[in-house]
Amino acid sequence: MVRERSVYPEGRILSRAADRYEPHARGGKPSVYQETIKTKGHGFHHWAICSKSFDQDVAAYEAADYPVAFSDISPRGVRIVYVDTSRDLPGMLEIIETTDALEAIYQSYFDASQNWDGKDPVRRWSLKSGS
């Protein structure tokens, strides 16, 4: 499994969370996504949890012998880590450092979805502020 640390401007990430997508491409560079495709094909890669005790949670997974496969700072300005849980689970686990600012961004996504009339399906937000 690729063990890496990257910075988002080097590549783009594609994740689906509810109806949110982010592109995942690293310009041909090794990545945890490409490694998974090579070993098991396209399909499920990871799920994510938010953590207000990020360092402790990452350390707990490492202590349980789940190595960190990827770490970065997200476009939203918080730390993220992918823990390789594939030994026991069908994919990796992403741990997202949760801050009040991140919660406000995610709340803005949720608020925008309420009472949506189906028009204007593509919305643009500032990744740092959510507006």
Give the rounded distance of the alpha carbon of 25 from its chain centre: 13
What pLDDT is recorded for position 28?
Answer: 59
In terms of Cα–Cα distance, which of 113, 6, 3, 96 is closest to 46? 96
Query: What pLDDT is stored for residue 96 in this prediction?
Result: 96
* Per-residue pLDDT of the chain in tens (131 residues, 90 and over written 9): 444 444 333 333 334 333 334 445 556 566 777 777 788 778 788 889 999 999 999 999 999 999 999 999 988 889 999 999 989 988 899 999 999 999 988 888 888 888 889 888 887 777 666 66
Dihedral sign for Cα atoms in the order 57, 63, 67, 72: positive
Rounded to whole angstroms, the Cα distance separating 30 from 114 reads 39
User: CB of 95 within 8 A of CB of 61?
Assistant: yes
pLDDT at 72: 92
Give pTM, 2 decimals: 0.70
Helices within 20-113 (DSSP H only): 32-40, 54-63, 100-113
CATH fourth-level superfamily of 4-113: 2,3-Dihydroxybiphenyl 1,2-Dioxygenase, domain 1 (3.10.180.10)
For position 131, what pLDDT does the model report?
63
The Cα–Cα gap between 79 and 96 comes to: 6
> In the structure encoding, which two tokens stand for residue 62, read together?
């490492």
Q: How far apart are CA 70 and CA 85, in angstroms?
A: 12
Cα–Cα distance, 57 to 64 (Å, whole number): 11
**Maximal CA-CA distance, the chain:** 48
DSSP 3-state of 12: strand
Q: Spell out the domain ranges in the chain.
A: 4-113
pLDDT of residue 25: 53
